[in-house]
Structure 1
Amino acid sequence: MTPALRATLIAGIQDGSIVPYLGCGVLADVRHTDTGAAIPADSDSLILAMNNGRPMSPKLMYEFPRAAMNVELKRGRGAVTRFLDQVYGDSRWTRAAVHDWLRAIRPPYVIDVNRDTQLQDSYADIPHTLIVGVARVTGDGTRYRLFAWDGEKYTPTSDLAPGQPILFKPMGTPRPGGAGYIASDADYVDYITELMGGFAIPPTLKTLRQGKRYLLMGLRLNRDTERMVMADIIYAAHTPPGWVLIAEPTAKEERFCARLGLEIIRADIGELIGETAMAA
Structure 2
Amino acid sequence: MSSTNFSEILSGLYDNQVIPYLGPGVLNDVVNTINGESIPADSNSLILAMNGGKPMAPKLMYEFPRAAMNQELKRGRSFVTQFLDKTYAQNQWSRAAVHNWLAEWRPKYVIDINRDTQLQDSYADEEHTLIVGLARVIGNSFRFKIYHYDGSSYFEIPQHQVDLNLPVLFKPMGTPRPESNYVASDADYVDYITELMGGFAIPDFLKEYRKDKKYLLLGLPLNRDSERMVMSDIVYAANEHRGWFLRKNPTDKEKRFSERMGFELIEIECQEFLQSLETAATIAA
| Both structures adopt the same fold (TM-score exceeding 0.5) | yes
Query: Any residues of structure 2 matched to 1:77-88 within 5 Å, and which?
Result: 77-88=77-88
Matched-pair contact (CA < 8 Å) for 1:15–1:108: no
The question of whether the paired residues in 2 share the 8 Å contact of 1:6 and 1:272 is answered with no
How far apart, in 1, do the equivalents of 2:250 and 2:277 lie? 24
Match of 1:165 in 2: 167
Inter-partner Cα distance in structure 1 for 2:239 and 2:259: 15
Distance 1:85 1:181 in 2: 10
The letter of the residue matching 2:163 is A
Counterpart-to-counterpart distance in 1, 2:189 and 2:52: 24
Q: Deviations over 1:108-162 (max 9, x none)?
A: 0000000000000001111000000000001111000000001100000113312
**How far 1:276 sits from its partner (Å)?**
8.9
In structure 1, the residue matched to 2:141 is 141
The answer on whether the counterparts of 1:14 and 1:108 sit within 8 Å (CA) in structure 2 is: no
User: Aligned equivalents of 1:75 and 1:144: distance in 2?
Assistant: 25
| Amino acid corresponding to residue 49 of structure 2 in structure 1 | A
**Greater than 4 Å deviation, 4+ residue runs:** none
| Contact preservation (8 Å) 1:130, 1:149 | yes
Instruction: Normalising by structure 1, report the TM-score.
Output: 0.96
State the Cα distance separating 1:5 from its structure 2 match. Answer: 1.8
Q: How does 1:239-250 map to 2 (within 5 A)?
A: 239-250=240-251
Secondary structure (helix, strand or coil) at the match of 2:182 reads: coil
Q: Which amino acid aligns with 1:232?
A: D
* Partner Cα distance (1:257, 1:17) in 2: 19
Matched to 2:169, the amino acid is L
| Aligned position for 1:197 | 198
Give the TM-score normalised by structure 2.
0.95
For structure 1, the residue ranges without an aligned partner over 5 or more in a row are none
The aligned residue for residue 64 of structure 1 is 64
Deviates more, 1:252-261 or 1:192-201: 252-261
- Give how far 1:275 is off: 6.2
- Tell me which amino acid in the other structure corresponds to 1:162: L
Take 1:131 and 1:11, find their aligned partners in 2: how far apart are those partners?
A: 26
Shift of 1:101: 0.4
* Structure 2: tracts of 5 or more residues without a match: 279-285
State the number of aligned residues: 276
| Cα distance in 2 between the residues matched to 1:22 and 1:109 | 12
SS in 2 for 1:257: helix
Residue matched to 1:132: 132
How far is the alpha carbon of 1:271 from its aligned partner?
3.1
